[in-house]
Amino acid sequence: MISALSVPRFPRAWHSGLCRLRAVVAALLLTGASLPNSAYAQTSTSLTGIVRDETGAPIANAQLRLVGLERGAQSNDRGRFTMANVTPGEHTLEARRIGFALRRISVTIRTGVNEVNVTLEHSALALDGIVVTGQGGEMERRRLSTNVDVISRDEIEASPTTRLDQLLQTKLPGAQIRMTSGQPGTTSLIRTRGINSVSTNSTPVIYVDGVRVDNLNTPAALGMNLSGSAHQGAATSALADIPLDNIERIEHIPGGAATTLYGSDAANGVIQIFTRRGVAGPTRASLEVESGVETPQTQFQHFHRTRDLLYRNGVTQKYSGSVEGGVGGFTYSISGSARAAQSHRVEGDNNALAFRSGLGADMGRRGRYTGSLSYNQDAYPRFRNGNSGGYNTLWFIEGGRSNAFGFNPDIDMLGDSAWQALKRFVSRAEALQDNSVRVRRFTTSHGFTIEPLTGLSVKANVGIDQRLTHERAITTNEFLIHTKQYPAGTSDRGSIQNYDRTYQGLTGELTAQHRYTHGAVSIVSALGGQLFRNDDEQVAYTATNVRDGAQTITGAGTTTGADATFRVANYGLYGQTNIGLRDRYFLELGLRADQNTAFGSTVGAQYYPKVGLVYEVTQESWMRDLVGERWLPKFRLRGNYGVAGNFPRPFANDQTINFSSLGGALAATFGQPGDPNLRPERTSTFEGGFDASLLADRATVSLTVYKARTRDALLNAPSAPSTGQTTQLRNVGEIENRGIELRSSIVPWSSPAGRLTLTGSVNTLKNKMVSTGNTPVFNLGGLSERTIQAVVEAGQPVGYLRGSKATFNPDGTLQKVELLQYLGKPHPDTFGSMSAQLRLGSRFTVNVDGDYQFGASSHSFDRHFRFQYGLPETIVPAAAVKAAGGPTGIWLDVFNLFVEKTDYVKLRNLSVEYRLPERLVPRGASSARISFAANNLLTWATSSFDPEVDLSGAIGQGAAAVGGFNYSTDSAARSFLLSIGLGF
């Protein structure tokens, strides 16, 4: 089938860029090939060897170092490592790898080539692993009272996804991430531990190499709207364009005590990305070619013919290359990629180009510089969805709106001539759409670390994230005529809409960490300060009375413009200490103080404390006497309390005046009243639980119970009527979230022949708006009160669905209609993920993962509109429809009938990888692999529509998004990808 598809061509402007990328990769490969013959040929003393697991399989990407000498290396695809310029003598070799227990080996180094083999044992708890996020510096996981999820380099490379949020869907056991649209680059809903705010979005803070980056996941204040009101549109996600190439690992911590050190912007958790900086040793290079097909998911389409009208099999191809290594005290990692893909819709292509580099260099004996730089650009098409009048693709077809254009809305029943007429109409309408999004992003980070004293490390880090977004919608007269919005001959109704958003974030941080050990006592303390400033500037410039063929607004009949600016700066100081006794009792204490430009003038510094306790029970002799180490190798108890915040939106504290045009002059009216007492929302979290490994470390169980309460929740509260002023954001609400997080893994089979690992998670969530401070019920999304909305009301789940509820008599006639009734909630009671990895020998690996949810509901506007437009719908009693004079007479009264449970289980990804034996590796390469991957394979759902495709519901930029509405939106494409990778 693939051979029958047309291969997409890179845009002309891309050909030169792709040629440059190939040339750079070739040059890097040649450079890498020469390094071992020059730099390492001079080495008189070196240490080499192979890292394997307990079954004998080689382990790639293991980190090795000689303690005290700062000599390091990383194992290659075959598990082999080389450490050059080693000082002869007695040393301790330390080997680390995510998912394995720390291993230390005493080695004797003699002049010449020394060889040592290292065996690492799998350890699902990996308490010896090092994490950074939320700790003020490097910290062993065993000392932490909170869970830190780590996604390793291997997991990232094995994943078939191309987007960060898609990667996180099944890799973060305590988070729920759902795509809101199948259009490329569109936003996702991210929830960790419930909804903490009704005024700010639930997206976690994102850091790349210590730099806070743009994480906008809602429509911008000024943005292209192709789907009715702004909060129904397909927003562009800032997470989608963070390139996955050259990432070493990703750390995630949920809100609560784990995020206290991030202060006023971390109640929703933190995701931190660490890129590769290279390791000392011979140059390692790779080249990968990926090709495949994206095919639409049609399971949830009401009409069988919808696929023929709107979708196709789109071919995708990607080229990527990387080089990493190091010589002396200098290390480097450089990667680049180019991707071109046909949209699975009948029109439009999406393309991406990315480059990333990381460097490290010793600065004397006690200092080191690390830096990273990335640049990427993306181009996406945008399609008209939703309901905004005129022609909007899926509303026209799946919503039954084609009846307004003279077609029978039941397109599966059309005769041949009518069907051909519909195909011609839709094909032309799709071809005439010209809506696009272009994104360019530049991120750089620079860090300096010195160790002035033994046990003291001081690090300074500064960086910038700049993201430029250009959205453009060209509506031609021909499109308006074809879709019957204006009569034939119209030549002055065309328009061009342009929206530019420039985001620039600056982050600076200075941290000192001190380690002290005396006998059975160990203390790790950190003290630091952080500054970040975000500037978000937006401009809209539009033109009307545009003739067809115009690509710019110059010369248009009428031009208009608008702008918007959001600016915020935050200053914070923090301190933390972690005290350990006998390596089994640990006490965490921390405090952060913040000042923010969005706080009111009378509000001083805000303080966020945390305290945590850890008790590693299996270190006790009485526990060992009670339960043998084979049955319970590790068991630890933990508990903590912490506070994190969400600061108000920029300028929400200021009193403003609104200006508008009146009679050719500016007229002034009351604007925002302002609030000098405006403070951040404060989320306090109590949590406790345990971590255990069982059956000789073949199984693990981790349980966390938490309760989080957000006080000073920000709501748009009305002003006193006597003031004549509008609503004002005030700290008047309170929200509660509580739940259980359970995660487990088991290895039912492990031998030299292979290994099978199964993992899974279960999360429960109870959410309630405790108080609104007498603020009237208000909506977070949806339409009017007479239809359906996601609203906020005291005593109810945040964003519950409210609309009309019809009750019927036994004979099917209408008994009563109740307005403004509870119809369900958009967030689930239970959700989680599951995965399996099967490794056969050292060459063949299979990975499968998926996720699920239960207890949520959503309203299907598509189904509801089909009923309104006269298509058969058995869910509404025929007697009631007849008595109302037809569907249009009753459709506003029956919203409860079109709210469905959205329970689902999804098989997200399947990947199969085979590493070729040496005899089959092409000449000049050191390794080769072939992999096949598939995305979005299967879905089992209780709803008649795709339960994941859920409009974000955010009314404005950065506003809360809870979803709950299935409304003329594409499902994510199903993809099948074949890739070939070579190592050098």
Q: Residue 182 has which token pair?
A: 């199948």
Give the phi and the psi of residue 484 in degrees, each rounded to 5.
65, 30
Q: How many helices and strands, by DSSP H and E, does the chain display?
A: 10, 49
What's the CA gap between 49 and 115, in Å, rounded? 5
Beta strands in 300-455 (DSSP E): 314-327, 330-342, 349-363, 367-381, 434-453
Q: Residue 379 has which token pair?
A: 């181009």
What's the CA gap between 18 and 309, in Å, rounded? 33
H or E segment at 105?
strand 103-109
Q: Residue 773 has which token pair?
A: 């401070």
Residues with Cβ within 8 Å of 926's Cβ and at least 6 positions away in sequence, in order, are: 76, 77, 78, 983, 984
What's the CA gap between 612 and 737, in Å, rounded? 20
pLDDT tens per residue across span 518-533: 999 999 999 999 999 9
What's the CA gap between 30 and 22, in Å, rounded? 12
Q: How far is CA 244 from the centre of its chain?
A: 11
Looking at residue 168, what DSSP letter applies? H
Say if residue 231's pLDDT is above 80.
no
Residues with Cβ within 8 Å of 97's Cβ and at least 6 positions away in sequence, in order, are: 51, 59, 61, 62, 63, 120
pLDDT tens per residue across span 871-921: 988 999 999 999 999 999 999 999 999 999 999 999 999 999 999 998 899
CB 25 within 8 A of CB 320: no
- Give residue 709's pLDDT: 96
Q: Residue 201 has which token pair?
A: 């979005």
What's the CA gap between 683 and 174, in Å, rounded? 18
What's the CA gap between 902 and 182, in Å, rounded? 17
For 508, other C-beta atoms within 10 Å of its C-beta total: 15
pLDDT tens per residue across span 381-391: 888 776 666 78
Give the phi and the psi of residue 794 in degrees, each rounded to 5.
-60, 135
Name the percent of the chain lying above pLDDT 90: 53
- Give residue 668's pLDDT: 80
| Region 843-866 average pLDDT | 93
Looking at residue 484, what DSSP letter applies? T
Give the phi and the psi of residue 239 in degrees, each rounded to 5.
-75, -30
Average pLDDT along the chain: 87
What's the CA gap between 681 and 697, in Å, rounded? 42
List the beta bridge partners of residue 71.
66
Q: What pTM was computed for the model? A: 0.89
Q: Residue 144 has which token pair?
A: 């932490």
| Region 710-718 average pLDDT | 90
CB 787 within 8 A of CB 958: no
- From 50, 160, 125, 56, select the one nearest 95 (Cα to Cα): 50
Pairing of strands 844-854, 830-840: antiparallel
CB 689 within 8 A of CB 670: no
Expressed in percent and rounded to 5, the helix, strand and coil fractions of the chain are: 15, 50, 35
pLDDT classification of 970: cutoffs 50, 70, 90: confident
What's the CA gap between 946 and 951, in Å, rounded? 12
Query: Which range has the worst mean pLDDT, 77-91, 713-727, 921-935?
Result: 713-727
Say if residue 43's pLDDT is above 60.
no
List the beta bridge partners of residue 804.
none
Q: Residue 477 has which token pair?
A: 């007269």
What's the CA gap between 184 and 236, in Å, rounded? 9
What's the CA gap between 865 and 616, in Å, rounded? 59
Looking at residue 493, what DSSP letter applies? -
What DSSP string runs through 232-299? GS-PBPSSTTS--TTEEEEEEE-SSGGGGGGTTB-TT-EEEEEE----SEEEEEEEEEEEEEEE---T
Name the percent of the chain lying above pLDDT 70: 93
Name residue, tokens 């006490």: 587
pLDDT tens per residue across span 81-126: 888 778 888 888 888 887 788 888 888 888 888 889 898 888 777 7
- If one compares 749 and 717, the residue with the highest pLDDT of the two is 749
What's the CA gap between 43 and 34, in Å, rounded? 15
Looking at residue 827, what DSSP letter applies? S
- Give residue 953's pLDDT: 63
Pairing of strands 118-120, 45-53: parallel
| Region 551-570 average pLDDT | 90
What's the CA gap between 971 and 898, in Å, rounded? 19
Say if residue 33's pLDDT is above 50.
no
Say if residue 739's pLDDT is above 70.
yes
For 27, other C-beta atoms within 10 Å of its C-beta total: 11
Say if residue 6's pLDDT is above 60.
no
Name residue, tokens 């008649």: 944
List the beta bridge partners of residue 847.
837, 911
- If one compares 69 and 878, the residue with the highest pLDDT of the two is 878
Q: How far is CA 542 from the centre of its chain?
A: 32
Give the phi and the psi of residue 505 in degrees, each rounded to 5.
-115, 135
